[in-house]
Structure formats: C-alpha cells, structure tokens
C-alpha cells in the first residue's frame, strides 16, 4: 500500500445521518439513508479453492464503499475536536485520492470535500462520490460505531465513536477487538459493523446460480472468471485497476502522476456488480475487514485497489497490514444485520357491479361484490412464503425448475431438509417482482391458506398451509377441494382464495359501460377488442407480454434463447389494465382458477402467457389441466371478500397473533386499491 502517515488529528462532533447513498458536495451535513444489499443463501458452502465464503446466516452489506462525502459527514458530526485522529493530512494533500479539506482550529474544525485533480473523465468527476482512503482499521471501526449508535453528534466518546459495534475504550492499543454481542448504547446487537472476511468474500465472489443452482464462486467480484478490463462505463467485467499494459483506469496512461486523481466514483463500472449487486469489491480501494484474532496487530484487506494488478483482485489473494496503517488505495464498506422479514402485502381492487349478466361465452356472471389482487403473486412474495413454511418442504412447494429454467427462473434454494433457505435470483435483473411460475393449483391453495392464517412460520400443517381457505387434508386422490365456508384456524370466513373462473373472467373482461351506458365484455383484459402490442417501449398501448406474431415481448426478437429471461414484472404496463384496475390478466403467465369451485381433478387456467399468441389472451380461450400441473407458463393471483381487511403494520401483527390463537381479527375499509397483510 502506498504512503502511510505517522500522525493524525481528531475532532468532536457536528451533525448528520449517513448511509451509503452517494453524496453531492453540498451534502456535508445531510441526512441520508443506507444503501444496503441483502446477502441471503445462508449455510452456503465455502469456496473449495480458498476455504472462505461460508456464512451461516443472512446479512446485508454496503452496495458501495464508504465515500469521501459520507466520511466528511461523519467528521463534521464527531470531529470538531479530532481526539482520535479520524482525519489524516494526506486526505487533503495527496491528490491521487484527495479528498477532504479541514479548516478552523481545534474544537472548531470543519470539513469539506475537494478534488478530483487532473483529468476527470465521466465516472471519475465527483468530489464526494469517490471512496474514502487514508483510513486505518480503527477509523473504520469508529465510523461503524457511529452508524450503529444512530449517527449522533458530539465528542468522540463511548456514546458516539468509542463503543457500539466495537469497544475501543477497552481495546489494547493496536490490537483489533472482537465485535460486541450487544451494543451498550442500544441494548441490542450492533446494526452496523465491518464485514467479516467470510461475509465480504461471499458478497464479492459467491453466486447461488452456479453449478446448476447448487452455488459456486467466481474468481473476480464482477461475476466473471475472466481477467477484467478497466474502462469506466457500461461494459461488463470492468474494474479500476492497472492493466498488464500498465494503463491506469482514469487516464488510460502507463504512468502515475502525483497531481492526478486515480479514484473513480463508486459504482462507475455500471455493468460490473457482484451476484448480490455490490460494486467495486474489486479495485478502486482495498477494503478493511473485521480482523479480530490476527497476530501482531495485523488486519486483512481484500479486493485490490487502483494501484493493483489483476492477481490482487482475485478471490485467491488477501493482504495483511498493521491495523494503524493507512494509504491512498485503502478504504472500507460496512455490513449490517439482516432486515426483518416483511409481511407479504397484496394489493386488492374492488369488483362491484353485482348480479351482472354472463357474457355470450357463458362466463362472467357474479352475484356478489368481491376483491381481486391487482397483480399476480410474485417471486418475492413466494420466497417469503417458502422461507416461512418450507424449511422442510413436505409438499413440494419449491420446484427445481424455479432455479434452472432461465426463461422464468427466480428462486434459489440451498441447504438440506429441515434447513432449506430460499432467496430471489438475479436473472437478467432481480426476479423479485416477476410472477411466480412452476406452481400447481395445490401450491396456490397452500399460499392462500398461509395468507388466510396470518402468514405463520413453521411446518406445513393444518395451522399454516393445509387448512384455512381450503381443507387440503381432504384432497386424497390429487383432487382439488372446494373452498371452506369457515377457516377453522380463525373461526371466521376465509378472506383469501383462488378465484373461480367467473370471478377471474369478470375482473378481466367486464365493464359496466362498454358503449353508451350498456354493460359488456371486452375481448382482451386491456379494455379493448383488438390485439394489444407487445413492445415494452411502445408509446401507444395497451401493452401485453405475449408472442405477437413470432416476436417475444422482452427481447423483441423472434429467436428464443434458453438463457434469457422472458418474464416482465407483475406490475408492468400500468396503463394497460382492466376496467377494475387489474394488471396483466392477459399475458406474462396463465393464472389458475377454481372453475366452479367443485371438487375435481381439473382446475382452470386463463389469460395467456409470454410465449402464447394473441388467441391465448382472448376471453373465448380457456384451458383446463390437472391440479398438480407445474409449468413455466402458469402462476396465480388471489381473491378476497368484499370486506377483506386493510391492515396496518400494527393491525397485521395483532391479527397474526389472534389468528394463531383461533380468534378473528379483522377490520374492513372501502375503496380501491386496498393493502391486505393478513386474513381470517
């Protein structure tokens, strides 16, 4: 590592709340929110080539390295008198990475961002958005403490920088302490900290989709085993480092000039994230890691910096330095505890106009008001369901093709029975908001039961998935069963179901005012009688994800690729909905329906899908299939009662407890759309 400084000065406090959002220079004291990416896939295997990367639980990590702007915010909050030496003179004087200017006298210091010097190509222009350097391990730990303590202002004390994630008051000088189990300032586990080596390594190099969904490791933190390039911008597999030719990233010249900045803005390599969505875990700045237990006061850094050659970037390389050393090419990023699992929220729209007449097809008449989900159930919602009830997947709620069929893939599973864990895939972008596929009618019914029971956690039993809206304990012979009149877990009418064919049809095609005040039905679920376009970029809608002629929607190509995602988000094409406001009842995926609701081996599918022609979208087209069918063309949406609860987060928690106790807990509200967290 270049240049170290022997002496530093410190400061007390100022103001601010920080995160990992990129700062503009004007945001010296701004309130900012952390940009963290979740790292799931707990209990993953270690990299067999290095032994690193295995992490038992889920966590979050900074999408970007901590920036100059963020560190200036920190200094202005706690370093008006810099007793711990959080600011280094080289942050101002070394123009290869500067930096931060300090003005004023001890007790009245203030800090502003400066630079970059020299040539400033796009992606290396921001004073504030480049990574902070010239920080040692203790500076990084104090920043983590400050974050864990809620970004307070004041002197450098136990309440601000000296305790929190790490007890630096009790630490032996020069020796890195263990992370606190409890932050004494909050009475809870620290929320921010430096990543352990395994946490950092996993976020950088692990990919759950490798080896047929079993998971594996890349050599570089750019989702690649090939040596990266070093061009700023939108090309994949690019890193801020020195090429074998000697070319530096910012200047593309083979020399280092002392008056030239060499740092790039965080995230400047726009198409080179890790599998979890972090940027710059290779290059730009080496990153300090949690390193308790190292001999001789040493700490570990990984990832390489702007001064590095390709071998230093690889998963096989780790660097040890003194905990008090600093340099122009070393910084850090933070890790954080895993976010609490959010309840599944279903947006419902009201379907009124009770006692409407049937269409000429014989379908669509519904004698009552009801609510139907605005969108299909998504991959993200189904992942929440699996993590709640499928650690031992007794009834096969997960299908391996949810991982391996890249046309629709969205879920990865790791672990063994009893310890399965599920996460959303990055498959040509995050799959979280795309509709779930490879689900049978029974999978959909179990999801509806889980929702009706308050989204409980546990095995697949009568309290979670096997009863509620449907009594699946009576589904012998693979026959679908009718709806329950009463949910035995709440002793009230269930509030979540799969729609009957008439309910689904009416929500898709009916309008009370098709022409001159006369009710009728459209041919398509987009309030029109002619085939919609399938071009997502079209300025003239409606737009539907289907095969128009021979052209696929997502690619706008007639060529099918087995490695290409073909799903669009469940909420896509917001101006192409039905009269009642549902989205994508045509296209993307077929949706299960209950037919008449009677017991039987068959259930219905309607609406068309991403590889179906316009005829599959039409109201006159219907499909019936065995209720156990699981394919890449089918998903589902839910219906609820007209008075289904619109629960707040507080009501949701209370309702879940009440449901588990066998009591009803619901409230009703009018209007559309409505957010439903739990049901009775």
Residue 678: band (very low, low, confident or very high) from pLDDT cuts 50, 70, 90: very low
Cis preceding linkage at 542, omega within 30: yes
What's the whole-model pTM score?
A: 0.59
Instruction: Give the pLDDT confidence score for residue 414 in this predicted structure.
Output: 85
Is the model's pLDDT at 477 over the cut of 80?
no
Residue 195: band (very low, low, confident or very high) from pLDDT cuts 50, 70, 90: very high
Q: Which helix (H) or strand (E) holds 348?
A: strand 346-351
Is the model's pLDDT at 552 over the cut of 90?
yes
Least confident of 2-11, 112-121, 217-226, 460-469: 2-11
Is the model's pLDDT at 675 over the cut of 60?
no
Cα of first residue to Cα of last residue in the chain, in angstroms, is: 62
Instruction: Give the pLDDT confidence score for residue 18 in this predicted structure.
Output: 36
Which residues contact residue 309 at a Cβ distance below 8 angstroms, ignoring those fewer than 6 apart?
Answer: 241, 242, 244
The residue-averaged pLDDT of 341-346 equals 83
Instruction: Give the pLDDT confidence score for residue 515 in this predicted structure.
Output: 87
- In the chain, the percentage of residues whose pLDDT exceeds 90 is 79
Phi–psi pair at 424, nearest 5 degrees: -75, 135
Q: How far apart are CA 592 and CA 655, in angstroms?
A: 28
The distance from CA 430 to its chain's CA centroid, rounded to whole angstroms, is 7
Q: Which helix (H) or strand (E) holds 652?
A: helix 649-660
C-alpha dihedral (599, 602, 607, 610), degrees to nearest 10: 140
Which residues contact residue 412 at a Cβ distance below 8 angstroms, ignoring those fewer than 6 apart?
Answer: 41, 208, 209, 213, 215, 403, 422, 423, 425
Interstrand relation of 634-635 and 590-593 (parallel, antiparallel or unpaired): parallel
CA distances from 14 to 33, 79, 109, 171 (A): 18, 7, 10, 25
DSSP state of 132: P
Half-sphere exposure of 495 (CA within 13 A, CB side): 30
User: In 3-state terms, what secondary structure has residue 36?
Assistant: strand
Look at the domain 1-340 and name its fold.
3.90.1580
| HEC string for 614-640 | HHHHCCCCCEEEECCCCCCCEECCCEE
Torsion-angle region of 200 (φ positive above 0: left; ψ -120 to 50: alpha; else: beta):
alpha
Q: Are 137 and 301 in contact (CB under 8 A)?
A: no
Instruction: Give the pLDDT confidence score for residue 643 in this predicted structure.
Output: 58
Instruction: Give the pLDDT confidence score for residue 668 in this predicted structure.
Output: 29
Q: Are 193 and 143 in contact (CB under 8 A)?
A: no
Q: Are 385 and 397 in contact (CB under 8 A)?
A: yes
Least Cα distance to 142 among 54, 66, 212, 213 occurs for: 66
Q: How far apart are CA 207 and CA 204, in angstroms?
A: 9
Least Cα distance to 37 among 250, 323, 294, 281 occurs for: 281
Q: How far apart are CA 26 and CA 321, in angstroms?
A: 34
Tokens 């995602």 sit at which residue? 565
Burial class of residue 656 (count of CB atoms within 10 Å of its CB; 0-12, 13-18, 19+): buried
Task: List, in sequence order, every beta strand (DSSP E) within 88-235.
Answer: 100-103, 110-113, 192-193, 206-207, 216-217
Q: How far apart are CA 66 and CA 333, in angstroms?
A: 5
Q: How far apart are CA 321 and CA 326, in angstroms?
A: 9
Instruction: Give the pLDDT confidence score for residue 468 in this predicted structure.
Output: 96
Phi–psi pair at 401, nearest 5 degrees: -70, -15
Both tokens assigned to 456: 């409980």
Instruction: Give the pLDDT confidence score for residue 107 in this predicted structure.
Output: 95
R_g of the chain computed on alpha carbons: 28
Burial class of residue 477 (count of CB atoms within 10 Å of its CB; 0-12, 13-18, 19+): exposed
pLDDT tens for residues 359-379? 999 999 999 999 999 999 999
pLDDT tens for residues 499-517? 999 999 999 999 999 988 8
Is the model's pLDDT at 580 over the cut of 70?
yes
Q: How far apart are CA 266 and CA 131, in angstroms?
A: 6
Torsion-angle region of 373 (φ positive above 0: left; ψ -120 to 50: alpha; else: beta):
beta
Count the neighbouring beta carbons within 10 Å of the beta carbon of residue 101: 17
The residue-averaged pLDDT of 479-483 equals 96
Q: 428-433, long-range: CB within 8 Å, 24+ apart, which pairs?
A: 428/564, 428/565, 429/565, 431/379, 431/380, 431/565, 431/567, 432/378, 432/379, 432/380, 432/383, 433/378, 433/379, 433/380, 433/569, 433/570, 433/571
Q: How far apart are CA 122 and CA 118, in angstroms?
A: 13
Task: List, in sequence order, every beta strand (DSSP E) within 437-573.
Answer: 510-515, 518-521
Least Cα distance to 507 among 519, 517, 499, 515 occurs for: 499
Listed by start position, the domains of the chain span 1-340, 351-499+640-676
pLDDT tens for residues 593-622? 999 999 999 999 999 999 999 999 999 999
């Amino acid at each position: 590592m270049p240049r170290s400084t022997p002496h530093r000065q410190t400061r007390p406090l100022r103001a601010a709340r920080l995160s990992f959002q990129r700062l503009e220079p004007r945001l010296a004291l701004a309130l900012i929110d952390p940009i963290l990416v979740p790292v799931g896939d707990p209990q993953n295997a270690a990299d067999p080539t290095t032994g690193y990367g295995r992490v038992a639980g889920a966590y979050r990590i900074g999408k970007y390295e901590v920036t100059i702007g963020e560190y200036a915010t920190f200094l202005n909050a706690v370093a008006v008198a810099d007793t711990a030496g959080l600011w280094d003179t080289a942050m101002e004087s070394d123009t290869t990475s500067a930096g931060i200017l300090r003005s004023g006298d001890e007790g009245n210091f203030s800090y502003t961002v400066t630079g970059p010097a020299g040539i400033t190509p796009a992606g290396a222009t921001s004073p504030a958005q480049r990574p902070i350097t010239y920080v040692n391990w203790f500076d990084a730990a104090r920043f983590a403490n400050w974050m864990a303590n809620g970004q307070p202002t004041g002197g450098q004390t136990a309440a601000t920088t000296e305790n929190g994630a790490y007890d630096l008051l009790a630490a032996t000088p020069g020796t890195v302490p263990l992370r606190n189990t409890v932050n004494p300032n909050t009475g809870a586990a620290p929320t921010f900290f430096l990543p352990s080596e395994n946490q950092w390594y996993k976020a950088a190099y692990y990919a759950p989709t490798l080896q047929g969904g079993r998971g594996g490791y890349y050599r570089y933190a750019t989702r690649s085993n090939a040596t990266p390039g070093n061009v700023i911008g939108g090309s994949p597999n690019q890193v801020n480092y020195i090429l074998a030719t000697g070319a530096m990233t910012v200047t593309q010249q083979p020399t280092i000039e002392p008056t030239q900045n060499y740092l790039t803005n965080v995230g400047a390599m726009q198409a080179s994230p890790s599998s979890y969505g972090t940027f710059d875990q290779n290059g730009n700045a080496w990153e300090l890691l949690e390193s308790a237990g190292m001999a001789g006061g040493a700490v570990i850094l990984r990832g390489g910096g702007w001064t590095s050659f390709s071998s230093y970037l690889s998963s096989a390389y780790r660097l040890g330095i003194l905990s008090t050393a600093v340099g122009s090419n070393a910084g850090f990023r933070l890790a954080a505890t895993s976010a609490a699992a959010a309840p599944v929220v279903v947006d419902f729209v009201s379907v009124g106009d009770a006692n409407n007449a049937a269409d000429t097809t014989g379908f669509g008449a519904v004698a009552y008001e009801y609510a139907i989900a605005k969108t299909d159930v998504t991959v993200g919602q189904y992942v929440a369901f699996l993590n709640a009830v499928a650690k031992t997947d007794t009834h096969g709620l997960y299908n391996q093709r949810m991982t391996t069929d890249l046309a629709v893939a969205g879920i990865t599973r790791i672990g063994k029975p009893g310890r399965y864990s599920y996460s959303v895939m990055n498959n040509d972008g995050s799959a979280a908001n795309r509709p779930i596929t490879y689900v049978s009618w029974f999978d959909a019914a179990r999801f509806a039961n889980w929702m009706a029971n308050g989204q409980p956690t546990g095995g697949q039993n009568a309290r979670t998935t096997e009863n509620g809206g449907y009594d699946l304990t009576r589904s012998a012979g693979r026959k679908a069963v009718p709806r329950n009149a009463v949910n035995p877990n709440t002793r009230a009418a269930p509030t979540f179901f799969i729609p009957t064919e008439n309910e689904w049809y009416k929500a898709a095609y009916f309008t009370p005012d098709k022409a001159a005040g006369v009710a009728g039905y459209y041919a398509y679920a987009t309030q029109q009688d002619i085939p919609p376009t399938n071009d997502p970029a079209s300025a003239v809608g409606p737009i539907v994800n289907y095969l128009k002629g021979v052209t696929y929607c997502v690619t706008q190509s007639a060529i099918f690729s087995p490695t290409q995602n073909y799903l669009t988000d469940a909420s896509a094409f917001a101006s192409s909905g039905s009269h009642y406001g549902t989205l994508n009842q045509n296209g993307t995926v077929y949706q299960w329906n209950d037919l008449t609701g009677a017991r039987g081996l068959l259930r219905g599918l309607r609406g068309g899908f991403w590889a179906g022609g316009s005829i599959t979208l039409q109201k006159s087209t219907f499909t019936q299939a065995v209720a156990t069918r699981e394919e890449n063309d089918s998903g589902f949406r839910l219906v609820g009662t007209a008075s289904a609860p619109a629960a707040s987060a507080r009501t949701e928690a209370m309702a879940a407890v009440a449901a588990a106790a066998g009591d009803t807990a619901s409230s009703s509200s009018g209007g559309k759309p409505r957010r439903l967290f739990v049901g009775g």
